[in-house]
Homo-oligomer: A and B are copies of this chain.
Amino acid sequence: MNLEIIKEISITSPEKIVMLVLDGLGGIPNPTTGKTELETARIPNLDAIAAKGICGLSDPIAPGITPGSGPGHLALFGYDPIITRIGRGALEALGIDIELGLDDVAARGNFCTIDSQGIITDRRAGRISSEKCAELCKLLDGISINGVDIMLYPSREHRFVAIFRGKGLQTELTESDPSRTGVAPLEVKAKQPSSKKAAQVINKFIAKAKTILAAHHPANMILLRGFAKKPEIPTMQEIYKLNPLAIAAYPMYRGLARLVGMEVSKTGTTFEDEIKTLRENYQKYDFFFLHVKSTDTAGEDGDFARKVKILEQIDAALPALTGLNPDVLVITGDHSTPAVYSGHSWHPVPVVICSKYCRTDGVKEFSEKAFLVGGLGRIAATQIMPLAMANARKLTKFGT
């Protein structure tokens, strides 16, 4: 659905929507048992929600396409992930909780090793410790070149994020990282005249970094790539007239929520913590995005039994959430992560919408197979928000 149309017909209402995203929800059958993780787990509360709601399967992008976390979540928030692309640098910045301004250019960085001739001998500087990385970032952080302030944020091991903050920076740039050893780092070049200023500043910064790091072998140079700005996206306030809160233990998902205008709450590390945060903030907002990461991690690790156990733990914690009686409860994932596949996959994702006004179907079980004949059928993930909004009486008629 075109967001311009949603914007035309959306209204504010007292009803509250809770969208619970179980990352990587949805699997494929274990070859031994013929059952998926959801079919294996004992999840009576999820089953009850499926029975009370309307169920189906959703494609985050399109059949056959495996989404990354960025596109998967944009789709859940109703944004076409093919139109709205998030560059690597920007996503990396979101992933470590950096707030990006509209003019900021973000880049992914590595500390690396160069020899006396300036040739790269190790693209990862021997995988220095995260502590060492933080120390070195401090040396380079706060430099200013041609009116552009440069900030460095350490990530894990040899990785960091660099932010270039100033006017007139564009991102049509080549990378300094040649993606191999045995050659010198590349000069950053502007692919468009409008990006010339950014190229100049970045090259000067790299030269300065080289001087500063000279004595810090093996981390005696940096490589930069994935130059990107934050995409300009109309906020959820603008489109849906919602007052949304994100509750997510992992920084990447807080970043994605911030990107679409959500407020972000502090919370703990467990699902129970997130529900507690939800309860504490329940009166102040009308849309809540809760994100659970552990389902995805277990799937990525190929740990079928752990994914089953985590689903059971989530199920056990659910009554504290459903006890709030949200007017609309959506439970789904941003993509499937079947333990058998050990990674994000293209398989459609189970989705249930529970409200006073949903047209219930005959589904009694929360599983991929049961949801095949659910009342939602097979939908695009971008259709979930309009459905949630409708169920919350937050969309007026289209036309008369």
Contacts and interface: CB of A to CB of B under 8 A. Distances in A.
Contacts of A91: 399-400
Most chain B beta-carbon contacts within 10 A, residue among A81, A378, A385: A378
Contacts of A62: 1, 383, 386
A359 interface: yes
Nearest to A1: B62
Copies per complex of this chain: 2
Contacts of A341: 357
Interface stretch (A66-74, A130-138, A148-156, A299-307): A66-74
Contacts of A357: 28, 338, 340-341, 345
A215 interface: no
A219 to B, nearest CB: 25
Interface residues of A, number: 63
A388 B63 CA distance: 10
A1 B376 CA distance: 22
A262 to B, nearest CB: 19
A387 interface: yes
Which one of A9, A62, A369, A385 has the highest number of Cβ atoms from chain B below 10 Å of its Cβ?
A: A62
A67 B399 CA distance: 6
Contacts of A9: 65
27 contacts: A1-B61, A2-B82, A9-B65, A28-B359, A29-B360, A34-B360, A61-B398, A63-B376, A63-B379, A63-B383, A64-B389, A66-B396, A66-B397, A67-B398, A68-B398, A69-B400, A70-B400, A85-B399, A86-B399, A338-B359, A340-B357, A346-B386, A346-B390, A347-B359, A359-B368, A362-B369, A372-B375
